[in-house]
Amino acid sequence: MAHKFINEIDAGEAIDDIYMVKDPILRSTTRGDLYIAMFICDRTGQLNGRMWQATETVYKALPKPGFIHVKGRSELYQNNLQIVLNNVAVVDASKVNIEDFLGRTEKDVDQMFAEVTEVVGRIKNPQLKALVGEFLADSELMDNFCTAPGGVKLHHGYIGGLLEHTHNMLGIAVAILPFFPQVQADLVLAGLFLHDIGKTDELAYDMAFSYTDSGQLIGHIVKSIMMVNQKADALRAKGTEIDQAVMDALGHIILSHHGQYEFGSPKLPATAEAFMVYYIDDLDAKMNQVTSAIDNDLSDSNWTAWMNALQTRLYRKRIE
């Protein structure tokens, strides 16, 4: 039987299919009855799931994340579609078609990577060019770069998302750099290419999008700095020195690209190039969140559900 994708489900349908379950939480109602709140997902999106009159035994048996066979129904709650689960059975990951569950970029990966390579190939500074070239020459790392998601929840959370995010940002930079001739273009291009490179090691995406233990402990910002230092050491061993001033300027871009301390940025932007990378990164991430939220909202309302990351609901009606 063909899989019923999340974006094909309407209110009032009987549900009898396999889905990915994420973030199950055991809670209690005001009357003290236990229920499980969770997300029911596939590659087309996710819905809130609720299992009423649950038990701790059922909760402990749920994979976190993993696959379950769901029997239940879909319904509208406060104008949002959700799934009420009556029965669940854990399904071994080897029994499912993983392509149904992991979202994937709709863009051509080979073309995007070729264009990324072409843009960073414009870097003229010999030290930055050598450093970027050392990354491009690492075929295993570049395979991971083309495969990794750009995030777990907030933006570009699908296979190829990191490459798509980087490709978008480099395209934006190429378009706007001519308006700011005082900005060092080589640093911006290198910074955009490398600022998230640590996500290749921070994120896991073999079954669901999550964090590796190392990624959770260290984070992609620090991992990116570590990887840049490792490549610089490799170049030094080959006789190519990277000046400390170059390493500091590039490192500052990586360390400050989240822009604010409360967003996990170890440093605030303090150079023109760091500000440009921060704003380009934030623009592409925000627009991906906005367009994805609008596209994936399954209600009939002109407004999406509340988007906590954006602190707003989004107006979906288009002007024809």
Map out the domains of the chain with their CATH numbers.
6-99 (2.40.50.140), 104-293 (1.10.3210)
pLDDT in tens, 220-230: 888 899 999 99
Tokens 């949002």: give the residue: 80
Residue 298 has what pLDDT?
Answer: 63
Residue 50 in contact with residue 83, Cβ under 8 Å?
yes
Report the b/e string of 200-237 with b at 16+ CB within 10 A: bbbbbbebbbbeeeebeeebbbebbbebbeebbeebee
Phi, psi for 96 (deg, rounded to 5): -115, 160
Residue 184 has pLDDT above 90, yes or no: yes
Residue 133 has pLDDT above 80, yes or no: yes
| DSSP string for residues in 17-83 | EEEEEEEEEEEE-TTS-EEEEEEEEETTEEEEEEESS--HHHHHHS-SSEEEEEEEEEEEETTEEEE
Residue 209 has what pLDDT?
Answer: 64
Average pLDDT of 245-253? 97
Residue 1 has pLDDT above 70, yes or no: no
Average pLDDT of 12-31? 91
Report the alpha-carbon distance of residue 152 to residue 188 in Å, rounded: 25
Residues 6+ apart with CB under 8 A from 129: 123, 186
- Asked which of 34-48, 101-115, 199-213 is least confident by mean pLDDT, the reply is 199-213
Q: The pTM is what? A: 0.76
Residue 190 has what pLDDT?
Answer: 98
Residue 253 has what pLDDT?
Answer: 97
Q: How confident is the model at residue 239 (pLDDT cuts 50, 70, 90)?
A: very high
Highest mean pLDDT among 53-57, 142-146, 245-249, 258-262: 245-249
The two three-digit tokens of residue 4, written as one number? 């019923």
Residue 214 in contact with residue 202, Cβ under 8 Å?
yes
> E strand or H helix at 15, and its extent?
strand 14-28
Handedness of CA 262, 265, 270, 272 (dihedral sign): negative
Residue 30 has what pLDDT?
Answer: 87
Residue 291 has pLDDT above 90, yes or no: no
Report the alpha-carbon distance of residue 135 to residue 190 in Å, rounded: 11
Q: How confident is the model at residue 256 (pLDDT cuts 50, 70, 90)?
A: very high
Residue 17 has pLDDT above 70, yes or no: yes
| DSSP string for residues in 230-268 | HHHHHHHHTT----HHHHHHHHHHHHHTT-SGGGT-SS-
3-class DSSP assignment, residue 318:
coil
The whole-chain average pLDDT of the chain stands at: 89
